[in-house]
Chains A and B, each alone.
Chain A
Amino acid sequence: MSDLYAYDDEELNNFLKGLRRYITARAIAIYIIVGIATVAFAFAFYYLFFFILPPPYELLMFILLMVAFVVGLNVLLQRSLLIHHLPPYTLDIVKKAGFKIEAFKIYFIFNRAKVYPTPNTYIKIGLLVGYVPFTEVRFRSYKISLTSGKLCEKDDLLGSLIVQKIAERNLLSWDLKSDSKRVGVTRKKMGGLRFKTICLPEEVTGRLLQMGKAIREWERALDKVAQFALTS
């Protein structure tokens, strides 16, 4: 992508290069796993279950099944990595922007990335990668997701109005439906209103500053409401 070379900022370039290297390494690791699993599955299926396929198209069915297996396993592995993580060295640029970063909790080989614009509220940074096989290594296909911590309950009328106004003022999108995604997976308590934005890797610093500003405004608004309630 030609845009990548339009920036002469060295730090930003390093950040993008780091991400790119990480995504490529991750994709290659996934392809190796998918490759080994496909060969194993194909052998097992061929010798154990091949005879149950309908006779005239058995070879075609077998090929389709294998393609579905490759795509399905790839999507599954890519999706299972949709936790909020970033390679640690790419977070240097965030550190330099003045954010406090939580010490990493390492899950398997992935690191969770949370930054704190204020002591109370965090912003989760995560990579979103395209799931279609062989597209994830393209620079265009990955984006960065920023989600703030829970600000207030979805049915808190005053809170949602303040959050909406602040989001509007800071040109941020805000996620009203985060509850509904989790219903039925016993994770409903994780819902609630939060700022949410998806951006290109080169926009991360600007977007983080913006979201940090919005979070500080939210906490100040809460403080003002509390002060008003006490004084009147």
Chain B
Amino acid sequence: MSFQNPIDKVLQLIQNLKLFTDIKGVDEIQEEIRNLLRDIYDLFMGLESFNRKKRLALLKLAHLFPKSLTTADLRLVMEYSDNTSLSYVRNEIKELEDANLIIINKYKDKKLPFQVQINHDHRIMRLLIALTSFGKDYKEMVKGMVGEGNE
């Protein structure tokens, strides 16, 4: 049984279009698809380098985009217990902030909580947000989870 590469199959189908029809710009489309797949690979490898809690934070923030979360909500979505201190959670996500993957809005008024949002200017995070469009049920579930936590 030979291994059939699904990516090559799609690229071959596009190549066939070029061979049998007069469609222009096939090479550019192929290049775009290659870059996109390359970005998806980078995203996989990048996510793999974080531990489960940080992956959860990124995935759930991407599903909730453009909504931002407070640190208490984030503690909930990262599956920490209510006893975990908020400063510990903030410390955990600091690294994500350093790598520009999330934005933490801090207000001058210290009574207001921090608002954490995924950085939609980051190329790979934009891709992650785009990919979450396939996870409508999961999106609803996360929204429900955060909503319940606030009640």
Interface residues of A (CB under 8 A from B): 3, 6, 140, 167-173, 197-200, 202-203, 206-207, 209-210, 213
Q: Does B30 lie at the interface of the complex (its beta carbon under 8 Å from any beta carbon of A)? A: no
Give the residues in chain A near B47, CB-CB below 8 Å: 171
A202 touches B49 (CB 8 A): no
Given known pairs A210-B45, A210-B46, the reply for A168 and B100 (CB within 8 Å) is: yes
Task: Give chain B interface residues in 95-112, CB to chain A under 8 Å.
Answer: 95, 98-101
Q: Can you list, as one digit per residue, whether each of B34-78 has a CB less than 8 Å from chain A (1) or not (0)? A: 000001001001111111110000000000000000000000000
Question: Most chain-B CB neighbours within 10 Å: which of A140, A167, A171, A202?
Answer: A171
Residue of B nearest to A165 (CB): B123
Give the complex CA separation of A140 and B95 in angstroms.
15
The 7 closest A-B CB pairs, nearest first, are A171-B46, A206-B49, A173-B99, A173-B98, A210-B49, A207-B49, A206-B48
A168 touches B124 (CB 8 A): yes
Q: List 11 A-B contacts (CB under 8 A).
A: A168-B124, A169-B123, A171-B42, A171-B46, A171-B47, A173-B99, A200-B51, A203-B49, A203-B51, A207-B49, A210-B45
B88 touches A172 (CB 8 A): no
Give the residues in chain B near A169, CB-CB below 8 Å: 39, 42, 123-124
A171 touches B51 (CB 8 A): no
Main secondary structure of the interface of B (DSSP, over half): helix
Given known pairs A171-B124, A173-B95, A173-B99, the reply for A202 and B51 (CB within 8 Å) is: yes
How far does the Cβ of A130 sit from chain B's closest Cβ, in whole Å? Answer: 11
A170 touches B46 (CB 8 A): yes
Size band of the interface chain B makes with A? 20 to 34
Give the complex CA separation of A140 and B124 in angstroms.
29
Give the residues in chain A near B48, CB-CB below 8 Å: 206, 209-210
Give the residues in chain A near B100, CB-CB below 8 Å: 168, 173
A172 touches B99 (CB 8 A): yes
Give the complex CA separation of A172 and B51 in angstroms.
14
How far does the Cβ of B82 sit from chain A's closest Cβ, in whole Å? Answer: 14
Give the residues in chain B near A173, CB-CB below 8 Å: 95, 98-100
Q: Does B122 lie at the interface of the complex (its beta carbon under 8 Å from any beta carbon of A)? A: yes
Give the residues in chain A near B99, CB-CB below 8 Å: 167, 171-173, 197
Give the complex CA separation of A168 and B101 in angstroms.
9
B122 touches A170 (CB 8 A): no
Give the complex CA separation of A200 and B93 in angstroms.
12
A171 touches B123 (CB 8 A): no
Given known pairs A173-B98, A197-B95, A199-B95, the reply for A168 and B122 (CB within 8 Å) is: yes
Residue of B nearest to A175 (CB): B98
How far does the Cβ of A56 sit from chain B's closest Cβ, in whole Å? Answer: 38
